[in-house]
Amino acid sequence: MRFKEKLVSLIKELREERAMQQQDLAHLLGVSRQTIYYLEKGTYTPKLTLSLNIARIFNKPIEEIFFLEPIIKDVIGSITIDDLDRISKETGIKRERIDNLRKIMNVKLQEEYTQKELESISKALGFDYRDLFE
């Protein structure tokens, strides 16, 4: 099993560090401001050419701007400690073990967690197992 992942970008942070508006970056890239908005929001996956042009503008390697992140990291990161406690009681899995899913790498996932544990955690989070894991 593996974490399902999403593409994350640091475009907004890099743009704001340079005091650029979305329209400024869009103009440099030859795209619409809406394209920049969706890139920053994470709802648009750019083609390689656009990604390389973004990397060139910010003078950074592409992998410092775009990277994959497990979906569960956002899910667990957005819940409260009370929710973690509830999920822990509901699943019988220690809170620290559930919270650790935000940091664990795919290679360690199969070594440290059983599919049954991950199915229980997914269900307690309100997700289907297949929405978070492959």
Instruction: Give the chain as a DSSP string.
Output: --B-EEEEE-HHHHHHHTT--HHHHHHHHTS-HHHHHHHHHT--PPPHHHHHHHHHHHTS-HHHHEEEEEHHHHHHHTS-HHHHHHHHHHHT--HHHHHGGGT--HHHHHHH--HHHHHHHHHHHT--HHHHB-
**Mean pLDDT for each 10-residue chunk of the chain (134 residues)?**
89 97 98 96 93 97 92 90 95 94 86 93 94 92
Give the pLDDT confidence score for residue 99 in this predicted structure: 92
Residue that terminates a domain, selected from 68, 88, 115: 68
pLDDT of 69 reads 87
Q: Do 77 and 60 sit in the same domain of this protein?
A: no
Asked if 74 and 36 sit in the same domain, the reply is no
Domain containing residue 31: 7-68
Number of domains, the chain: 2
Same domain? 92 vs 124: yes
Residues 33, 74 within the same domain: no
Residues 81 and 46 in one domain: no
Q: According to the model, what pLDDT value does residue 88 have?
A: 96
Give the model's pLDDT for residue 81: 93
Q: Largest Cα–Cα distance in the chain?
A: 53
Provide the CATH number for the domain around residue 26. Answer: 1.10.260.40
Is this model's pTM higher than 0.85 or not?
A: no
Q: What is the pLDDT of residue 28?
A: 97
Nearest Cα to 22, choosing from 39, 1, 9?
A: 39
